Amino acid sequence: MVLFVLFCLTNFFMQFYQYKNLDTIAVTIQAVFIMSLCVVYFFSQIRNPSSLFIYNTFEFWVVTGILVYLAGTFFIFIVSGNLTDEQLDQYWTINYIFNTIKNVLFALGIYVLGRKSKKHVEKDPFNYFSVLDNP
């Protein structure tokens, strides 16, 4: 906890010295940490699955979207501090592509969540007490 607060404070004060460039060290550490959490999630689902088909849970789609985006843009963010503006504009299309893929996977997760919750609530549309039976 102390290391996290120290890291956040250092990152906050370092932003005043770097006006133009992205802080590649903080982005790299963040990406590695979040990708490792995604891998831990997948391992926990392999050991103790919460459903028969993992792709029927919205968590799967959200974690997959995060992992795909971070893995796809990992090296761009590492070298972005050493690139010129023209080079960065040229490679930034990759970020747009992976951001779109991430958003599509998030939308799939929201669709799965809405489909799952819709099955549980709609018993009788004219009986208002049916909602109370299955919260």
pLDDT top residue among 62 and 2: 62
Residue whose pair of structure tokens reads 């843009």 in the numeric block: 73
Q: Is residue 133 part of a domain?
A: no
How would residue 133 be classed by pLDDT, with cut points 50, 70 and 90? low
Q: Is residue 8 part of a domain?
A: no
pLDDT top residue among 35 and 1: 35
Q: Is residue 108 part of a domain?
A: yes
Predicted TM-score (pTM) of this structure: 0.70
3-class state of residue 96 by DSSP: helix
Q: Is residue 3 part of a domain?
A: no
How would residue 98 be classed by pLDDT, with cut points 50, 70 and 90? very high
The b/e string for 6-23 (b: 16+ C-beta within 10 A; e otherwise) is: eeeeeeeeeeeeeeeeeb
Q: Long-range CB contacts (< 8 A, 24+ apart) of 100-104?
A: 101/65, 101/68, 101/69, 101/72, 102/65, 102/66, 102/68, 102/69, 103/65, 104/65
**What is the domain range of residue 66?**
23-119
Q: Is residue 18 part of a domain?
A: no
Q: Is residue 125 part of a domain?
A: no
Average pLDDT, the chain: 80
Q: Is residue 104 part of a domain?
A: yes
Total domains, the chain: 1
Percent of the chain's residues with pLDDT above 70: 76
Residues 4, 6, 11, 13, Cα dihedral to 10°: 150
DSSP 8-state symbol, 25:
H
Residue 24 pLDDT greater than 90, yes or no: no
Using an 8 Å Cβ cutoff, are 105 and 63 in contact? Answer: no
Q: Is residue 77 part of a domain?
A: yes
The predicted pLDDT at position 26 comes to: 83
Mind listing the pLDDT tens digit for each residue in 34-82?
999 999 999 998 888 877 787 788 899 999 999 999 999 999 888 887 8
